[in-house]
Amino acid sequence: MKVTIMNINTIKDFEKVDWSKQIQGDVVIASNLGFLQPDKIWCSGSLIIEAAGTSIEAGTSIKAGGSIEAGGSIEAGTSIKAGWSIKAGGSIKAGTYIEAGGSIKAGWSIEAGGSIKAGGSIEAGGYIKAGGYIKAGTSIKAGGYGITSGCDIICKTTLSAKLRIISGVSPYHDGLNNTIKCGKLLSGTVIGNFVETGLPNETPKQCHGGQTGKFCSECGEKL
């Protein structure tokens, strides 16, 4: 099946498009077009903003059946949703939620007023912040600063941050939704109800067998 591709090479090209309607196929926006501010962008395929110099800020939502990729930043007044991955050289920010069937990756920050959810990994070069929960099918990483969520932080494999990892700071719940759950904590100071489940297919060391304390008495590792 042939995929339709809409190429936006100039500001005039961008202004000619009726962004209030869903675009069929992929949308490819050239670099160095500056700060584009449509009310919304919906496309059935992928939204690709080439290299740096172009950022998108939608008044309401950004939605793509495929992936969303920008050399600059991606921002929406309400939601950002992709069937595949979301990737930005700068920041990714949404007033309500950010959701991807694959991974979410930003060169700087990832921030949502509500939840952040990815079928794959969530990674930011700076910080990650959500008013609701943060959930990833694999890993969560904040390379420069910390991770903060109003509710739970959950990932199946590794969790890491340079500074603190904090859950349950939302004023809209009773304080019970403050779990931080991961396969393995690689770095960061955890503040919340911490649960480490072990990595998938990870075989415990023989010296760990039969011990019930928090740490192995032989090798000193956390049990």
Q: What local confidence, expressed as pLDDT, does residue 210 receive?
A: 57
Q: Which structure tokens are listed for 17?
A: 């498009």
Identity of residue 56: I
For residue 26, is pLDDT > 70? Answer: yes
pLDDT band of 215, cuts 50, 70, 90? low
CB-neighbour burial class of residue 162 (10 A; exposed 0-12, middle 13-18, buried 19+) = middle
Q: Which helix (H) or strand (E) segment is 14 a member of?
A: helix 11-16
Q: What local confidence, expressed as pLDDT, does residue 131 receive?
A: 94
> Domain coordinates of the chain in residue numbers?
1-108, 132-223
Q: Which has the minimum average pLDDT: 67-81, 97-111, 168-182?
A: 168-182
Mean pLDDT of 12-25: 91
Q: What local confidence, expressed as pLDDT, does residue 212 receive?
A: 53
Cα gap 6→11, rounded to integer Å: 14
For residue 75, is pLDDT > 60? Answer: yes
For residue 158, is pLDDT > 90? Answer: yes
For residue 103, is pLDDT > 70? Answer: yes
- Residue pLDDT, tens place only, 27-41: 999 878 888 888 889
For residue 219, is pLDDT > 60? Answer: no
Whose tokens are 């690689």? That residue is 186
Q: Quote the DSSP letter at residue 17.
A: S
Q: Which pTM does this prediction carry?
A: 0.86
* Residue of 27, 9, 116 lying closest to 64 (CA atoms): 27
- Residue pLDDT, tens place only, 116-149: 999 999 999 999 999 999 999 999 999 999 999 9
Mean pLDDT of 187-215: 75
110 with 124: CB under 8 angstroms?
Answer: yes
Cα gap 142→75, rounded to integer Å: 19
**Residue 30, number of CB atoms within 10 A of its CB:** 17
Q: What local confidence, expressed as pLDDT, does residue 33 receive?
A: 84
Q: What local confidence, expressed as pLDDT, does residue 175 receive?
A: 64
**For the chain, how are helix, strand and coil distributed in percent, rounded to 5?**
5, 45, 50
